[in-house]
């Protein structure tokens, strides 16, 4: 029977102590609020497509750091200032409470649930400048159309593109919170978003992601671009259920569209309903000819 000698026992004990010490250091680092803030800041930059070598080209000159500082939490931890935190929050329009660990949602919510005119007014104010483009994303985990039997959550988010030099970056916003297809007011809200987005000529896309990621984003957890990067693609257009020439005119869909029109009218948005009805008629004629 082989036994370990004194030297081997000492080495084995030293390895165990080193491993335990490393685990303690890792645990303390994760509990360190500054380390958490630095980690979230770097995660935000990476999720938005900004590499560690590109940060200094975007950030004000007075806040520039040695490029190595942006490469890891360990390097950035001692160099980070409140100015860097404020810049990231403003540049990507984040909820400022998220980077400091006082909020679970990184992005802001544009509230319009049961008040559709708020979203319309938001677009009116932002599109007045005419510089940025927008995209509404319906995020789901099912490749099938939704109907009155659907039981899954969904999320609707807004992507705002803005020019940076010769390229583009994006800011993201939640348009829904905790939405699910089996909650009728949420589905009506989704149709209202489609109507208002269509009126403002906003791009609408449908993203198919794993259910675990969908649950997270529908509850406002995690960075939206990380979730969207997992899109597996779908053959359905984003607002498939909104248009009769695409999804048909089942009694349920007809009723949903009628209630959407009525609710948008009640919100004082006659021009939105007029545009939608005009285009429904036009699309049917085009579809009939083709």
| pLDDT tens, the chain, 290 aa long | 555 565 555 556 666 666 655 544 444 445 688 899 999 999 999 999 999 999 999 999 999 999 999 999 999 999 999 999 999 999 999 999 999 999 999 999 999 999 999 999 999 999 887 667 999 999 999 999 999 999 999 999 999 998 876 678 999 999 999 999 999 999 999 999 999 999 999 999 999 999 999 999 999 999 999 999 999 999 899 999 999 999 999 999 999 999 999 999 999 999 999 999 999 999 998 877 76
Tokens found for residue 251: 């009694």
pTM of the model: 0.86
Q: How far apart are CA 118 and CA 89, in angstroms?
A: 23
Question: 137 — phi, psi (to 5°)?
Answer: -110, 120
- Distance, C-alpha 71 to centroid of its chain: 24
Distance CA 237, CA 179 (A): 20
Domain ranges within the chain, ordered by starting residue = 11-99, 108-289
pLDDT of residue 27: 46
pLDDT the model gives residue 12: 66
């Amino acid at each position: 029977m082989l036994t370990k000698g004194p030297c081997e026992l000492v080495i084995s004990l030293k390895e165990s102590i080193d491993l335990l010490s490393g685990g303690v250091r890792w645990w303390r680092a994760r509990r360190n609020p500054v380390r958490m803030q630095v980690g979230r800041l770097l995660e935000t930059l990476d999720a938005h497509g900004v590499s560690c070598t590109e940060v200094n080209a975007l950030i004000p000159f007075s806040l520039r750091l040695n490029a190595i500082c942006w490469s890891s939490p360990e390097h950035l931890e001692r160099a980070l200032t409140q100015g860097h935190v404020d810049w990231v929050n403003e540049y990507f329009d984040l909820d400022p409470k998220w980077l400091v660990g006082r909020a679970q949602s990184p992005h802001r919510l544009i509230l319009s649930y049961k008040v559709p005119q708020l979203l319309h007014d938001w677009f009116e104010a932002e599109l007045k400048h005419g510089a940025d483009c927008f995209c509404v994303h319906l995020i789901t985990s099912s490749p099938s159309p939704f109907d009155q039997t659907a039981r899954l959550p969904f999320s609707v988010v807004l992507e705002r593109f803005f020019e940076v030099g010769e390229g583009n970056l994006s800011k993201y916003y939640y348009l829904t919170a905790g939405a699910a297809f089996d909650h009728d007011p949420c589905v009506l809200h989704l149709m209202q978003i489609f109507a208002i987005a269509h009126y403002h000529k906003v791009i609408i896309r449908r993203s198919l992601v794993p259910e675990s990621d969908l649950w997270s984003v529908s509850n406002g957890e995690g960075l939206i671009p990380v979730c969207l990067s997992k899109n597996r693609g779908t053959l359905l257009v984003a607002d498939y259920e909104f248009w009769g020439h695409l999804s048909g005119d089942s009694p349920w869909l007809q009723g949903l569209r009628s209630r959407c029109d009525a609710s948008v009218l009640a919100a004082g948005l006659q021009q939105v309903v007029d545009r939608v009805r005009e285009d429904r008629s036009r699309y049917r004629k085009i579809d009939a000819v083709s």
